[in-house]
Chain A
């Protein structure tokens, strides 16, 4: 596609339910990132995928959060047993190459606004 696509754009879920957020990166981009942004706050890094390398999961806040990237393309962020503090905008970004190439330019999707009630 022309840009990074995220779905759904909005999601309201009940506390304790599981949710799946989807990210379609730009075709050919090997690097994919997930961030979380609470209202009025900065971006909180969650996880980073680069090609076939093991993902950097250092930003995942708890074991209720997991993500996978199938076939080096689409990624799904799963939050199990959602809590109210999980309410935030979840942003996905992709870039042509990883951080050491000097390219660096990341393209962001419009995010999924998750509300846990």
Chain B
């Protein structure tokens, strides 16, 4: 079964708006990570949140983790056109990714 299922599959917003993406997983984890992919090539690690953390910030990124619901959310505030990319989550097993959320930020 897939770990790290993201929703929505696609999200289109205007520059300056906030974007929220969600991730669900199935098993116990030590940590959960969010990655970004531009143009169908390598993924770039964005942020890691450990199972004993509930919220973490990095610049315009805010990640929350609810281990009771086995879910996480990634919030990008004040979005920019350059944030246009696909976003994936993965748990510490790192062997399963979901289909990702395709974010489009319109200028």
Query: How close is A113's CB to chain B, nearest CB, in angstroms?
Result: 8
Residue in A45, A104, A111 whose CB lies within 8 Å of B42: A111
Q: Is the CB of A93 within 8 A of B96?
A: no
Residues of B contacting A: mostly: loop
For chain A, the count of residues having a C-beta within 8 Å of the partner chain is 29
Within 8 Å by CB of A91, from B43, B96, B99, lies: B43
Determine how close the nearest CB of chain A comes to the CB of B40; give it in whole angstroms. 6
1/0 per residue B46-89: CB within 8 Å of A?
A: 00101000000000000000000000000000000000000010
Give the size range of B's interface with the partner: 20 to 34
* Residue of chain A at shortest CB distance from B33: A104
Having A59-B95, A100-B30, one finds 18 other A-B pairs with CB under 8 Å, namely: A33-B94, A33-B95, A35-B97, A39-B40, A42-B97, A42-B98, A43-B88, A48-B94, A91-B41, A99-B95, A102-B30, A102-B50, A104-B94, A106-B35, A106-B90, A106-B94, A111-B40, A111-B42
Which residues of B pack against A, CB within 8 Å? Answer: 30-31, 33, 35, 40-45, 48, 50, 88, 90, 92-100
